[in-house]
């Protein structure tokens, strides 16, 4: 596809969204999911930085980010326990 076609499709979708509006509930769900995944990434980053002293390294990938983001501290604790006790 040419870049002109892609840009015109994007402009058309933006105009359509401006005229019709977006569903508020859908946008709220997308926003909350994005925030939770961002928090999961930060949790994993800090556990890797501070857990390096005891040899704890949890890879940052989609699966671990979802677990840490949606389950919070309990998800991070379960990922750490799996790494320390199940995978040695």
Question: b vs e for 32-41, b when ≥16 Cβ sit within 10 Å of the residue's Cβ?
Answer: eeeebbeebe
Q: Answer whether 22's CB lies under 8 Å from 49's CB.
A: no
> What residues contact 24, with CB distance under 8 A and at least 6 apart?
none
Q: What is the pTM of this model?
A: 0.69
The per-residue pLDDT for range 40-76, each reduced to its tens digit, is 999 999 999 998 888 888 999 999 999 999 998 999 9
% of the chain beyond a pLDDT of 90: 43
Question: What tens digit of pLDDT does each residue of 2-37 get?
Answer: 888 888 999 998 888 888 877 778 888 988 999 999
């Amino acid at each position: 596809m040419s870049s002109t076609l892609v840009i015109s499709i994007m402009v058309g979708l933006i105009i359509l969204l401006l005229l019709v509006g977006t569903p508020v509930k859908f946008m709220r769900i997308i926003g909350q999911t994005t925030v939770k995944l961002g928090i999961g990434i930060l949790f994993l980053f800090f556990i890797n930085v501070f857990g390096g002293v005891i040899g704890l390294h949890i890879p940052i990938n989609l699966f671990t980010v979802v677990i840490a983001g949606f389950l919070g501290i309990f998800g991070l604790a379960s990922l750490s326990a799996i790494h320390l006790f199940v995978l040695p």
